[in-house]
Chain A
Amino acid sequence: MAKLILILTMAVFCFAQEHATPGDAHAAANGEAHEKAAESHDAGDPLLFWKWVNFGILMAGLGYLFVKQGIPFFRERGAGILKDISEAQKTKADADARAAAIEARISNLSTEIAQMQAAASAEMQSEARRLEAETAQTLTKIQSSAEQEIASAAKQAKAELSAHAASLAVELAAGRIRSSLSPSQSNGLVGAFIQDLEKVKN
């Protein structure tokens, strides 16, 4: 591209140089003089033919350069532009597809949210039921254990109380027997023991 611009600039510069004359400045200052000079210039320039030849060569060169460099350049440039346009279209199609998918997803989002809320609600209810059942089971166990412990403690207390009462009763009885037992009664007890021994033998 830069090369082409350079060539075109040089061509314009050459063309301008070719058509430029020293009297142009004065002609610009005076219109009539200019017309007269132009007439005399067109009619009497002996180098006009060569100028045209020169111009033709120049144009031919320029044409050659245009055909050799410019056409492939513009063709390549056109192909690149077409390719870019194609890629842009493809990208646009992808973006459109994505946008459509996102829109579709967004449109289904409320449904999904509702489904998720329903699932979460069902799960919470299930968990609540499970916890409720577990709590009830634990309560039953604790109650049963507590009842057993209470029963055991009551049984033990009853046994201790019974033992204590029995000890008190026996101590009381021992004291009374000791205080009221006469020697004859003591001998009688020994005699009863002897009779018991006889019974054991028999």
Chain B
Amino acid sequence: MSLAVASRYSRALAEVVFGPQSKTKPEQVITELEAVIEAMAASPDLVRILRSPAVSLNQKRHLLEKLTAQMGGSEVTANLLKVVSDHGRITILKEIARSFQSVVDERHGVARAEITTAQPIAPEQKTQLEAALGRLSGKQILATYQQDDALIGGAVAKIGSLIYDGSVRGQLATLRRKLVNG
């Protein structure tokens, strides 16, 4: 439910940011939203005030204006925060930012890949892997790497909801299913 709502806000934000009259870059909005999210995570009182029905909408708007001004945020970001706060959706700001990132990636033809390997891999292999994934998805790959010994060997790549499993663990799991099913 919150993902669908966040998607609506993020698409509306993308329409503004990618509009012909927009002077704000999408990456800037993303950075500003991440800063606000960090600030909210660091200050539970701020979240409590923004969620409290006892605090009026004008007071919340004034607080958010001050916050964005202190952070040097753009007008687009400030307006988004006001709208989200007015509609009582400040709690899903993180989902909105993530969804907006996806929309921006999609518009730029970028796919984010989470690559997990059992052992650290060489830069050449990273390049080859990203190139292979890029050809597979048809998009430019922005990869993040992490290591997991449980894979035993090989690698696992996740792009969105798609998972490409080339690990020894995955192959052993396939072997086990075959053994069980005869």
Contact = CB atoms under 8 A, between A and B. Distances in A.
A194 B153 contact: no
Contacts of A162: 179-180, 182
Contact of B154 (A165, A167, A189): A189
Contacts of A170: 172-173, 175-176, 179
A85 interface: no
Contacts of B125: 187, 190-191, 194
Interface in B138-182: 152-155, 157, 164, 166-169, 172-173, 175-176, 179-180, 182
Contact of A189 (B129, B168, B182): B168
Interface in A168-202: 169-170, 173-174, 177-178, 181, 183, 185-187, 189-194, 196-198, 200-201
A163 interface: yes
Contacts of B167: 193
Given A181-B152, A193-B166, A201-B132, A169 B179 contact: yes
A163 B180 CA distance: 5
Contact of B119 (A186, A194, A197): A186
Contact of A192 (B121, B133, B166, B169): B166
B179 A183 contact: no
A162 B164 CA distance: 28
The number of chain B residues touching the other chain, given as a range, is 20 to 34
A70 B79 CA distance: 149
Contacts of A167: 176
B118 interface: yes
B135 A190 contact: no
23 contacts: A159-B180, A165-B179, A166-B176, A169-B176, A170-B172, A170-B179, A173-B172, A174-B172, A177-B168, A177-B172, A181-B152, A186-B153, A186-B154, A187-B119, A187-B122, A189-B155, A189-B166, A197-B129, A197-B133, A197-B157, A197-B164, A197-B166, A198-B135
Given A170-B175, A191-B128, 8 more contacts: A165-B179, A169-B176, A177-B168, A189-B153, A190-B121, A190-B125, A190-B166, A193-B155
Interface of B: 117-119, 121-122, 125, 128-129, 132-133, 135-136, 152-155, 157, 164, 166-169, 172-173, 175-176, 179-180, 182
